[in-house]
């Protein structure tokens, strides 16, 4: 490739803040829940780079032709790969793409094709635009993507804070993460947290039904707690983890949780999972299990220790996807006043679905 900006290129990042900025001079965009992707095109050559500077092309073969059709002949564009199904973004469908078998990837590409959402123009022809202002880059991006067709899309953007606040509330039902704010006068800053992200955050009471040791080894420190939530039928589901502890707290939890380890498997709702894990049979081929490996952590020790499901913890979370927390949670406090049976999915706040087709058509 002969472009003014070449891979590997560290994408500009965002730092979390509690609310939308109130001063003037900001560009607001929806925060897409997908795979960050920087697309490099030079004629018929195309390269899609991940946030971790790795190639993504082989996992999304269906995007090559649309990108060559919709993007300028020579350009570098920052954006996100997403999959939209049933009126919302489906992050789990993206995870399934990271698979070593090409036949599997192509089958999934046909069953649930991906889209590319563009939000920044870093280079065009021989011009390196990273030093240009965000406002100028947005104007030029709109111009070059005026004729783009699905599954290539230009992200919505606004300078109106009230509109951004409305997006923050309405777009969540479509699976979006929140809102991103960018200074209109700012340059593109690779690797720097120069954008702001405003994400939804709520709290939930969860059952602590197990834990993982810290990587230092068994008996040293607690690595993470395994969280459970009950459904309407009374089944306890593994909903995610929390690991936001200080070093001293990790050490103290070893002794604090020790009484709950006694006879923990007797009647434990995840007993089968613990036994499968012990035999090395837990994998990511079916239902997600507390001790399962995945395509993202091959070789990582995810074995876990059961606890009697008697303690309740309140955690902060930003998004529930299906039956699991989309990201790791943050512990707020222990709730000795709560019984485990009260830790149900019906405590979770629900947001009505906002059709993704109303954000970008044709998917």
Beta strands 178-183 and 193-199: pairing type? antiparallel
The Cα 85–Cα 94 span in angstroms is 11
Q: Which residues pair with 13 in a beta bridge?
A: 193
Spatial contact of 145 and 110, defined as CB atoms under 8 Å apart: no
Task: Report d(CA 308, CA 270) in Å as an integer.
Answer: 10
Residue pair 363/151 in contact by the 8 Å Cβ criterion: yes
Decide: helix, strand or coil at residue 169: helix
Q: What is the DSSP letter of 157?
A: -
Rounded Cα distance, 198 and 215, in Å: 32
Three-state DSSP class for residue 228: strand
Residue 91 in contact with residue 101, Cβ under 8 Å?
A: no
Distance CA 82, CA 92 (A): 10
Beta bridge partner(s), residue 222:
213
User: Which residues are known to be catalytic?
Assistant: 31
13-16 and 193-199: which strand pairing?
parallel
- Count of other CB atoms within 10 angstroms of residue 58: 14
What are the tokens at 270?
Answer: 């995840």
Mark 148-159 as b/e (b = at least 16 C-beta within 10 Å).
beebbbbbbbbe
Beta bridge partners of residue 183, listed in sequence order: 26
Reference 21, options 187, 183, 188; nearest CA is 183
């Amino acid at each position: 490739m002969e472009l003014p900006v070449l891979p590997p290129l560290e994408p500009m990042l965002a730092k979390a803040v509690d609310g939308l900025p109130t001063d003037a001079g900001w560009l607001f965009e929806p925060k897409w829940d997908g795979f960050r992707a920087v697309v490099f095109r030079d004629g018929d050559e195309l390269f899609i780079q991940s946030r971790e500077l790795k190639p993504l092309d082989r996992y999304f073969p269906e995007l090559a032709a649309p990108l060559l059709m919709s993007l300028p002949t020579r350009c570098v564009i920052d954006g996100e790969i997403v999959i939209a199904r049933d009126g919302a973004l489906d992050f789990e469908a993206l995870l399934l793409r990271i698979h070593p078998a090409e036949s599997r990837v192509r089958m999934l590409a046909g069953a649930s094709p991906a889209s590319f959402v563009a939000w920044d123009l870093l280079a065009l022809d021989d011009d390196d635009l990273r030093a240009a202002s965000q406002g100028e880059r947005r104007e030029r991006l709109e111009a070059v993507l005026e004729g783009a067709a699905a599954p290539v899309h230009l992200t919505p953007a606004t300078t109106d804070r009230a509109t951004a606040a409305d997006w923050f509330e309405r777009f969540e039902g479509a699976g979006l993460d929140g809102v991103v704010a960018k200074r209109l006068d700012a340059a593109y800053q690779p690797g720097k947290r120069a954008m702001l992200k405003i994400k939804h955050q709520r709290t939930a009471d969860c059952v602590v039904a197990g834990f993982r040791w810290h990587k230092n080894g068994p008996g040293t420190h607690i690595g993470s707690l395994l969280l459970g939530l009950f459904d309407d039928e009374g089944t306890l589901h593994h909903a995610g983890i929390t690991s936001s502890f200080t070093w001293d707290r990790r050490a103290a939890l070893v002794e604090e949780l020790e009484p709950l380890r006694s006879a923990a498997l007797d009647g434990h709702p995840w007993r089968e999972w613990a036994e499968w894990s012990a035999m090395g049979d837990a994998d990511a081929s079916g239902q997600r299990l507390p001790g399962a490996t995945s395509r993202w952590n091959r070789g990582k020790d995810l074995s876990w220790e059961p606890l009697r499901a008697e303690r309740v913890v309140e955690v902060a979370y930003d998004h529930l996807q299906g039956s699991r927390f989309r990201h790791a949670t943050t512990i707020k406090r222990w709730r000795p006043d709560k019984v485990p049976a009260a830790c149900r999915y019906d405590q979770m706040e629900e947001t009505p679905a906002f059709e993704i087709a109303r954000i970008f058509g044709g998917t």
